[in-house]
Structure 1
Amino acid sequence: MSSPLNLLCRCLALLPLAWSLGVGAAHAATRGKAPAAARVAAQAQQAPAAAPGHKSTAKSQAQAKSQAKAAKSTGRKAEAARAAGRGAASAKAEGTRSASRAGTPAKTATAGKTGKPKVAAAHAAPPSPKSRLDYSGRKRVGQASYYARHFGGRKMADGTPMRLNHHNAASKTLPLGTTAKVTNLKTGQSAVVKIQDRGPYVQGRIVDLSPATARAVGITSREGVAPVEVTPIEVPMPDGSVRQGEAAHDPLARQQIARAKD
């Protein structure tokens, strides 16, 4: 009897201890679950906050793409405008060149023989813009060429035919009808000519001589051109009067004029 009794007493004595152990285990389990629940709750709270962020990022990317497209479109428009401007400038330049070509006299082709080609090309070229006529009577220095033979018989600027054996000459600046003394600066030979034609149309040349005058002053066909001094003797004025040039009192010029009149 005592033995079961003792056993029961011992069991009853252990009940508080078991109770306390069970309660402690329950508290420990509760404490372990609380942080996990807190973490889940925190993640749940952060999830809604993160969603707008994703939306904002997507929106920013969409805006960036839109701006890129707009920039590309603007660049294309600018390039098209530049291309149109270049096309207009090219068309304008082409028009200017065409107008320039239309207003520029055609060049004369050169011939084959030495000496004569220079003369023929010089006189056959189209006239340059009108030069102001020189009524001063002062001498000028420059290059002289002479007429090629195929110009013989052609009408000159004063309406008379060109005579290869006469002392006629062409000038761009001396009035028609001017008599002048032409001196070859290489040989010192001179002759008196009458200006009846216009030319030569080559830069640096101031007079075209007939073949007879060229021979008289020592210009050969091999040279074609020579440096000369052209000194007016008598210059007809627009009012019908005549001005005396620098060679008006040259005895040799007077003799040559008298010989020509005889």
Structure 2
Amino acid sequence: MNRMAVQAAVTMKQLQNKLDVVSHNMANLETTGYKSRNAQFTSLLTQQIDNFSDEQANALGRLTPDGIRLGSGAKLGQINMNLALGTVKETGRGLDIALLKDNHMLQVDVTNNGVTERRFTRDGTLYLNEIANGQVMLSNGQGHPIIGQNGPIILQAGMEAVTISDNGLIQVTRDGQTAVEGQLNIVQAIRPQFLEAVGDNQFRLPDVTADAYNAGDIIQEVAFGDMALQAGALETSNVNLASQMTEMMETQRAYQFNSRTISMHDQMRGLVNQLR
């Protein structure tokens, strides 16, 4: 009975983690380019108890293995991302782009405390931020530079209009003439499950030593001819609200069952103590 209570307590903690994942998905229902997460459970180690004699264990016609296997609950084994493309919604805004191929991502350089880190995102809400001498820089919603073929995309003063083509070219109109003045550097996540979420709908490479992995095995640049995006549109979140509500109710019910197991354990121990 005590082992059952331990199993229930362990499983309740993991179910709470799953509820956190579901609530995170629901909170990002309207987040541009957000990919929903799915919690996968796995059983913890089991203990083999040999409670039969050799004659009983090898009885003629016996189909089940000898002994009793007692588990120790379940744990959250892995959180997988659902990488399906979300619905593309037209906005009519020239600097909004939607990446149309799975696993393609924009690159963003984020600087914190003097340290610059390369991050990746599906959020195509872009802006022009003035930096110096009338120059403007293509950036994300937090003001961090979007990376092009030659680093941050910086445009000179005197622009009349800026548009982005379906293959990532930055087209600038000056004095009625349109010319290409930059190109987005889009990458593809070859093994997206290795990427770490860091907030603001962004990802980064694993924080391990360089000898532990080859970055090219996780992220690779996309060739110019393989780029596919839609300007004047944004990719919405791929969270399915109905399925998330179902998962939330199922997880809450499992949590209640395990909680009830602990309550019954306490009641049984109380009865045993009274018999003494």
Considering fraction of residues, name the structure with more helix: 1
Q: Is the radius of gyration larger for structure 1 or structure 2?
A: 1
Q: Which has the higher contact order (CA 8 A, sep 6+)?
A: 2
Q: Per the shorter chain, which TM-score range?
A: under 0.3
